[in-house]
Chain A
């Protein structure tokens, strides 16, 4: 008979993605054995993430204040806006340290099969924030799959008439990757979209 509080913790941990019953048990024992303040800090961190983190009022990335760091940072270019599916995609782009413009997070892609239409995404909000006329170029950085493509095409149709420059991130072989490791569909596409030098 294991104590109920321990069972409850294991049950909660096992709900996390990628965590099975056994791993949940190991984590629970780890928390139990760790010095007292660890459990307190962990529970506080969990509570705070729910209480304090919300969507940025402008770009819909994550923040703990009214506007996120990307929107508040005056050094970032106002003219360029990069549209991504998720916050995780935004973080991936940030890691490059190349992009100095602003973002807009859609929170999904257009997928009739999943019942996600334009109203379910932050598209209306995107159009509204363009009203101030500061943005000149929009980079569409949705994934290169069927739904990501369709979303990019849909946005293009909305944005082009506004007189904006609309661009799509390039597709093809990963840099520094070996040709031999590329999958056949990617390689076939890269081959057909080859450029003259």
Chain B
């Protein structure tokens, strides 16, 4: 079974004004991949995610959604593509003035012709999928951080997206919740047939569910490794990647903090 390309990144450079964050990024996310964007803190993983989902314009290079050049397309075409993306932000980014049900109902009301009763049913389904049945009328401020993330995920899958983006999904979650979230991600990938892109540095998740990745390096400001994380662990020669993937155990203690 040959892999079909879903997102193709070509010679991408990211910068804030004159300050370059990363450059010369080239990689392909295939369909139904669970693609990990990893690297040390401050290397630009979240910024890269922003470039892929339409929140920041590249300084150089291009992002292709299959055959469409994302950033060269018209705003309308971009919005059309973005509609098929589901994004879970680091803090959930639920709209605080609306209940969970209203949060999930908004994209459904906006982009489908369903009646409000049908929307209510779908909302209950999405909340049940993430384990939040019964919390429809709660406001985001009334639930815990972990629950907010799950609600954010329910909203991200509201329209059954083609691509799911996760920005540090396990941040702030206890190990059990993080494992449950990993399982959920796998389930969603299998049932929705979605491609998943995750920004994370949680090693357990990376090895448990990632099947493709790139490694961004802060000092050289470019990607220094790519491929299946488990294969990288076995075969990659670069010391920075090895230290990351083995939590610094195989090397001299002196370089842990850099």
Co-assembled chains A and B: no
